[in-house]
Amino acid sequence: MPPRRRGASGFRGVRVRPSGRFTAEIRAGGFRLTLGTYNTPEEAARAYDAAAWRFRRPGHDMNFPDVESLEEAEFLAPPPCLVDDEDRRRHRQVQRRIAIAERDEQLMRQWRAQSPDAFFANLRAQRRSNRRHRRAVAAFELENPNTTWTENDPRWDDIWTETTSDDE
């Protein structure tokens, strides 16, 4: 029987996670046992070797054949990364933010579905108002080319109100 292929990590029993971390797992008795998640493929391979020693696997199943005993393999294997309360708190916080954003999107879809005319009417009214304001500014500048008013000067609002009342 040909030897088993080694994965993308280059070690037996080590998989690369989408996050870029490495998971060690071993098959035993028809089950796949996850041994933990590690930062480097070497750490995950050491954890695999310690488990392989515990299951009394032959030496050619090991990633590091220079290890000579179970005690040495367990000494070299790092402890798995543990999830602490801070990690859980951060995860819950992120999940809450995602849930709020999804709920907002859902409510906006419902609102648009129930009143599309109101949504687009409001949008048209804003555009019309901006267009009238720009026309009033342009008309005033044509009549008074030497004006020192800035674009955001509140006096434009008075002229805009006069112009719109004349148009209607």
State the chain's mean pLDDT as an integer.
78
Is residue 75 a contact partner of residue 61, using CB atoms and an 8 Å limit? no
Using pLDDT thresholds of 50, 70 and 90, give the confidence band for residue 147: low
Assess whether pLDDT exceeds 70 at residue 59: no
Going by C-alpha positions, the residue among 28, 32, 30 that lies closest to residue 53 is 28
| Identity at 33, one-letter amino acid code | L
State yes or no: pLDDT of 143 exceeds 50. yes
Residue 14, H or E segment: strand 14-16
For position 96, what pLDDT does the model report?
A: 92
Determine whether 140 is exposed, middle or buried from the number of CB atoms within 10 Å of its CB (0-12, 13-18, 19+).
middle
Evaluate if residue 148 carries a pLDDT over 80: no
Band (pLDDT 50/70/90 cuts) for residue 24 is: confident
Of the candidates 137, 143, 144, the residue with the CA atom closest to the CA atom of residue 158: 137
- Tokens of residue 94, six digits: 């992120």
CA distance 65 to 59: 6
Q: Residue 95: pLDDT above 80?
A: yes
Contact predicate 26/54, CB 8 Å: no
